[in-house]
Chains A and B, each alone.
Chain A
Amino acid sequence: MKRFSILAFALISTLANAAGGEFVLSGADLHTVSHGVIEKGEILVRDGKIAALGARVDAPAGVQRIALDGKQVYPGLIASDSLLGLTEVDAVRATVDMAESGAINPNARALVAIDADSELLPVARSNGVLTVHVVPRPSEDGLLTGQSALVKLDGWTWEDMSLVASVGVHLAWPSTRTPPWLPAQAQEKAAEAARRKFAAIDTAFREARSYQAARKQNPQSPTDLRWEAMLPVLEGKQPLFVHANEAVQIREALALAQREKLRLVLVGGMDAWHFADTLKARGIPVILGSSHQLPQRRWESYDSVYTAAGKLAAAGVRLAIANEGGASDERNLPYQAASYAAFGLGRDAALRAITLGPAEILGVDQRLGSLDVGKDATLFVADGDALENFTKVERAWIQGREVDMSNKQTRLYEKYRGKYQGKPRN
């Protein structure tokens, strides 16, 4: 497998195969994720779904065949903790809709603020990130930040894009960790702020429970949007995503989940491996944050972040890997997985953690995450190993519809190549 292909940039001029169509991808190695690699295999796509796959598929005569000899086909990557659509230029406040004010916003819905025309979306898509879990962030005081949405990177509006309108409610666990070099007064301030936040979490769950009881007794009692949004979480129908990196945070979050009998998903989880057995025993999955982070503590080994995923996987913890590098960096999701792969997770598990792993945790593994019959034909073609930075993603389909791989950046590239070729500025 030659990975260092030096291809001139090729703009895909025609997009084949609108949804509803039928076609076969043939000749590529199929990275199914669920059942290994099918070398030089075939996929039959029909009505946006994978109708068949294998070394050879039975396809109707005359069906369009797309030759992908020497290429690699992967299920679309799933960004499992993303800001895509909620921000355009981070430093420009007017373009940022990621964090509602106040502490308790379980009713806030990420879905409705996703800008389908964000220039950032096609950039992520062109590197194989085809499905995105868009997650609201905490404001200064933020605790319950809102409901996340799962969307595909294709559609005229957020409604078109929506796969799961509300995946669950997110809780940003307060940190008690402050740099030791902060002045004592600032330390005390931070500790006090954290104490008040803990109290606010307790209060929120108590009040939500009282609302739950009141509504049960009298369904006509007035609506409270905040506590209404908490009902699926309290009833265990939706997971509570707790964002926590530090051991102390994770310890406290685990205690809350047990107390309130919640379905917990841990997000971030730099220190989660300290609790690997507990997480496994209690069936709590982890959406692990970026590998491209520094160790938190001086004494930790240089690879302490890189090795975290491998430790969790070895303990049998269900795992997804996210990219916390921000919306504009979402295209680099596979390389976050790669650094975990290099330090103990291994290539296959790393790929799984950005495809089938998140599909399972987000409850869409019947539709997404692997190349299997019956699943959405959401997949991409690359000229090599998708975990490698030098690999080029060449084509992609979302639910059987081929997507445009050009974006603002490729357009600028072409424009300025033109400058040096003596073309007039247009």
Chain B
Amino acid sequence: MATARKRLWGVLAGLACATAAGMAAAVQLPNANPVEGLRDNTPGFIALTQARLVVKPGQVIENGTLVMRDGVIVSAKAGGEIPAGALAIDLGGKTVFAGFIDANSEYAQSSEPAPASAAPPAAAPYTPAPQQGARHWSSKVRPERDVSRTLKPDPKKAETLRRLGFTSVLSAPDKGVFRGQSALVTLGDSIRLNEVLLKPRVAQHLAFEMSKFPSAEYPSSLMGAVALVRQTWYDAIWQRDYQAWAQRQSNPPRAEANLALDALQDSLAGRQPVVFSAEDELDYARVFALAQEFGLKLVLAGNGREYRDLARIKAAAVPVIVPLNFPEAPAVEDPERALELSLADLESWEWAPFNARRLAESGIPFAFTATGLKKPEEQFWANLRKAVSSGLDEQYALAALTVQPAALLGLGQRLGSLEPGRAAQLVVADADLFRSDKARIYESWIDGRRYVLADAAAPDPRGSWNLQWSGVQGPATLEISGELNELLAKAGDQSFPVVLDNRRLTLYPAGSLLGQRTERFPVSLQLDGGSAEGRGLIDGTREFRLSATQTAPKPRAPAKPPGVPALPSDEARFPAGEFGRAAPPKVQNVIVRHATIWTQSGQGKLEDADLAVADGRIVAVGKGLKAPAGAIEIDARGKHVAPGIIDTHSHMAVAKGVNEGTHAVTSEVRIGDALDPTDMTVYRQLAGGVTAAQLLHGSANPIGGQSQTIKLRWGEDADGLRFAAAPPSIKFALGENVKQSNWGPQFNQRYPQTRMGVEQIDLDSLLAAQDYLAKPAKGAAPQRRDLRLEALAEVVQGKRVVHIHSYRQDEILAFARIAQRFKIQPVFQHILEGYKVADVLAQIGAGASGFSDWWAYKMEVKDAIPYNAALLQSQGVVASFNSDSDELGRRLNTEAAKAVKYGGMSETDALNLVTLNPARQMRVADRVGSLEPGKDADFVIWSASPLSALARVEQTWIDGRKYFDRDEDLAERTRIHQARERIIAKALPERIKALARKDKKDGEKKDDKPAAPNEEHVHGNEAVQYANLRGPYHNSEPVNTCSAQEAH
């Protein structure tokens, strides 16, 4: 019985809602259209009375009147004065806010498809495809795209957004790197853009978009996307300068037309803002750096994790558009599966609702967007109210929907408040709209047109009523309670449903209440203020009547502003979550005593010796040293101290792709643009004694990108990782990878496909770089800044070191001869057949950095031998071991030990393979690689000989700061365990609710078809293809490598 009743109410409530929408007459905007039929001269002079006016955040007029004429606000004043000639509309005490603006929506995008990329995946070089229009060479660069030329208003979508309170949205172009220019439109229900377009070409929109597998169009990596952005702005500058130059010439050579570069001139000159999307929290720094490089007027399109980098955003003085798409409650219900949840992820769930509050508290201007919500109609207000209940000041929340978006779009004088002169874009709602799920939006106003969702002045029937029946015997009193869309009446001991439809109230008592035998006995009442007149039929034949008076109204009390809850934590760590640091380790003066010290210098290995460190540098190594001022003392009796391990070949801490393998030459891309200081590999390698590493581009193309040398300063941001003293370097590659031998049979097009071609493209590229360096004649046309050639020019100038992936002796020799021709001294990476041409390497002064004993995993390593390093060294080549692996990088010390076994190196020479020699190859040996006075205090305390497989790292120091300590690590594990447990417990109730909702929905699916069999699977190798989607805070699972089993 109870269930049946519930079902009935549900149906009735649904009926009531269906009729809620309605509208007043339109105001005609001035226009140039011929009149068809009769003229429309409906006056647009309206006064909204009995209204609580929130003029702007923090300024409220209780019981006021808002007057508008022809869609423009005339006044917003206290009191009820209605100007003569105005139509008065009673809002029944409801609250009027300025209409909400979404400053970054995808509203009504008619996707203008990008010109198709003609090339099969990474199989061919870029070849200009036939195209429409004088476009940029890349289909990802379409700044000329103008949404106001293609947008088609979508009344249905507009209504959905109006129901949330929005009256205007910025429709932003949605695809590409340079995406095009947005349009600001109202959410009126016209299907003519002419009527709803407020402003075309509001902003230029950018994002670091990469092509996704299986497409392999440039850019396929984050660093490629950054490089494309940078080069394109330089091209726009060049075009501007070229045109200026051409104007001064009598017969200048014509430069190629390029509408894309034309379209960037407004943004370049600061006349048009640039809205730049930050997909994750590491993008902020990347975006800010680019905006600064080109002097852009920036708006940051954020991602909800701004709380993690507030200081940077604050310092950039840039407004932010933040989404409200909070993460779903994590899957914590299965303990084994819950192992997959990192503390960083759990924290991002816990912190998401606090993001806006943290922005507000930091004084950063921000606007909200509904973009990114899967179901805005359910999630927008739920999440916004969650943000408010998490401590976001309501006035800031309102500002983020009104004055802030108006200001950042440059329309602060026209939109965003109820001040006279502003467009009459209004939303009428309950006063507690921002804090109560029960609050409603009643209507909105756009351009003088009224869009009614519910009658604002409708009487509220809740409370006590006196009833007078005529023609039937009924109860004398009635109590109505509940929500307006789910009311409940009570008379005597009976409860029954009540439906409110506008001003008509229908009661559904059981017939017995009125002495009838019918099951239900509908009584219909017309409400008029506090009284009502009603009627109905008995037995379907005889009318009865009812007169009712509300004796004690009980409307819903507005929810009180919530208190400000505590933040989940007062402590910010970087990286967030596990093993993050609350503060960088202090620089400490330190003396390590009584250790076996591997100096890797002329001092050799010292027993029972001391190491003195002050101000981040080594002061002295020797016996019985004087402690530097204020030094802490470490008793290292029985322990070994050695220089920090240096890895010439690592791909750790690189976000979203280590290969820009789409073109054969990509020297413009920079690993340094894509650093990921949240990569746990950094910390794990500290625990393996690594203190510095060269992060290399992969080996997918003959000339890859620029490398980044780092120190493993875990807890610092990207800039903090950079090893400033290291000279720039670049990755080249030879052999099977660059000729795509192991990529699959379809990869047989891109030049080069043979070692013959590899040699020629290297030669040609370096010759091009030489040409680039040639000085232009005086008065010549402005030279285009070509970042690709610029990096190669640094190579031929000897300023940028080439690290070249190589295996076979033929290719090594071929490049050695090129190097000789250009007088460069490369370091050969891998170089597993280096032992066959050690004499040549010695002759040209090349370095050799390889694996200890990897072999046989592909054809070009079939002759690899573990004696390689010993033979190379015997011929005078500086040799080293590297990892090319996040895993191997953790134990390079024992790799070095293998050189003792294979070829009989001395212990010291063996350890040099991973300390001093890599430092020499990276041209940083004056700073690191050995323990000598004056060098950086980068050292490791080992429990035993660093060459022993049984040794553990106890401490790792960089620049005189202790970045790893095994004891502290053990304590941190306890903290992580407790924090995970706490948040998992907190998430469980919400997760269970979500699962119940999902079960219900699954149950409601009528035709639950079995999933179609699908022959495709995601397996290990395929997952690697998606690796460039991997955002920060991942598990540091190995996806980045250029050699081991090959990143195909």
Contact = CB atoms under 8 A, between A and B. Distances in A.
Interface residues of B, number: 87
A156 interface: no
A299 B1030 contact: no
Nearest to B343: A299
B339 A247 contact: yes
Contacts of A390: 897-898, 900-901, 907, 910, 947
A299 B344 CA distance: 8
A81 to B, nearest CB: 17
B1034 A298 contact: yes
B344 A298 contact: yes
A7 interface: yes
Contacts, number: 203
Given A342-B952, A388-B897, A297 B1035 contact: yes
Given A92-B858, A302-B683, A347-B950, A392 B1018 contact: no
A248 B336 contact: yes
Nearest to B344: A298
A322 B577 CA distance: 33
A351 to B, nearest CB: 12
A341 B950 contact: yes
Interface in B815-873: 835-836, 838-839, 853-859, 862-863, 865-867, 871
Given A297-B339, A387-B950, A327 B856 contact: yes
B947 A298 contact: no
A88 interface: yes
A294 B858 contact: no
Contacts of B790: none
A181 B969 CA distance: 27
13 contacts: A9-B867, A179-B1037, A189-B1016, A190-B1017, A190-B1018, A196-B1013, A248-B334, A294-B1036, A389-B898, A389-B900, A390-B901, A412-B863, A420-B875
Interface string A331-347: 11001001101110001
A190 B343 CA distance: 25
A280 interface: no
Nearest to A247: B336
Given A91-B1046, A412-B865, A299 B950 contact: no
A389 B336 contact: no
Interface in B680-716: 680-681, 683-684, 687-688
A296 interface: yes
A303 interface: yes
A388 to B, nearest CB: 5
A416 B835 CA distance: 7
A179 B1030 contact: yes
Contacts of B886: 294
Contacts of B334: 248
B578 interface: yes
Contacts of B895: 389
Contacts of A4: 900, 907, 947
Interface string B945-978: 0011111100000000000000001000100100
Which of A181, A186, A248, A342 has the most chain B CB atoms inside 10 A of its CB? A181
Given A247-B336, A389-B898, A90 B874 contact: no
Contact of A296 (B742, B1014, B1031, B1037): B1037
A328 B1031 contact: no
Contacts of A190: 1017-1018
A228 interface: no
Which of B887, B950, B969 has the most chain A CB atoms inside 10 A of its CB? B950
Nearest to B905: A6
B887 A88 contact: no
B155 interface: no
Contact of A7 (B839, B865, B904, B1036): B904
A232 interface: no
A302 B969 contact: yes
Interface string B1019-1032: 10011001001110
B8 interface: no
B1029 A181 contact: yes
A186 B867 contact: no
Contacts of B577: 298-299
A360 to B, nearest CB: 24
Interface string A284-317: 0000000011111111011100000000000000
Contacts of A327: 856
A388 B893 CA distance: 12
A9 B904 contact: yes
Contacts of B339: 247, 271, 297
B894 interface: yes
Nearest to B1024: A179
Contacts of A298: 342-344, 577-578, 680, 1033-1036
B1011 interface: yes
A210 interface: no
Contact of A293 (B887, B903, B910): B887
B1038 interface: yes
B203 to A, nearest CB: 29
Nearest to A176: B337
Contacts of B1019: 140
Nearest to B1037: A179
A420 B742 contact: no
Interface of A: 4, 6-9, 88-92, 119-120, 140-141, 177-183, 186-187, 189-190, 192-193, 196, 247-248, 251, 271, 274, 292-299, 301-303, 326-329, 331-332, 335, 338-339, 341-343, 347, 387-392, 409, 412-413, 416-417, 419-420
B1017 A90 contact: no
B927 to A, nearest CB: 26
Which of A6, A183, A302 has the most chain B CB atoms inside 10 A of its CB? A302
A193 B898 contact: no
Contacts of A389: 894-895, 897-898, 900-901, 947, 949
Given A297-B1035, A335-B949, A416 B836 contact: yes
A303 B687 contact: yes
Which of B900, B905, B1038 has the most chain A CB atoms inside 10 A of its CB? B900
Interface in B550-585: 577-578
Given A298-B577, A302-B969, A342 B950 contact: yes
Contact of B856 (A88, A140, A187, A419): A88
Nearest to B342: A298
Contacts of B863: 412
B887 A294 contact: yes
A419 B834 CA distance: 13
Given A299-B976, A388-B949, A248 B337 contact: yes
A180 B340 CA distance: 9
B891 interface: yes
Given A90-B857, A390-B898, A420 B839 contact: yes
B1045 interface: yes
Interface in B634-685: 680-681, 683-684
Contacts of A388: 897, 947-950
B906 interface: yes
Contacts of B907: 4, 390
A119 B838 CA distance: 25
A79 to B, nearest CB: 16
A280 B577 CA distance: 34
B980 interface: yes
A406 to B, nearest CB: 12
Contacts of A251: 336
A114 B862 CA distance: 19
Interface string B976-987: 100010000000
A294 B1037 contact: yes
B1029 A183 contact: yes
A302 B687 contact: yes
B1014 A192 contact: yes
A91 B858 contact: yes
A297 B342 contact: yes
A302 B343 CA distance: 15
A182 B1026 contact: yes
A412 B853 CA distance: 14
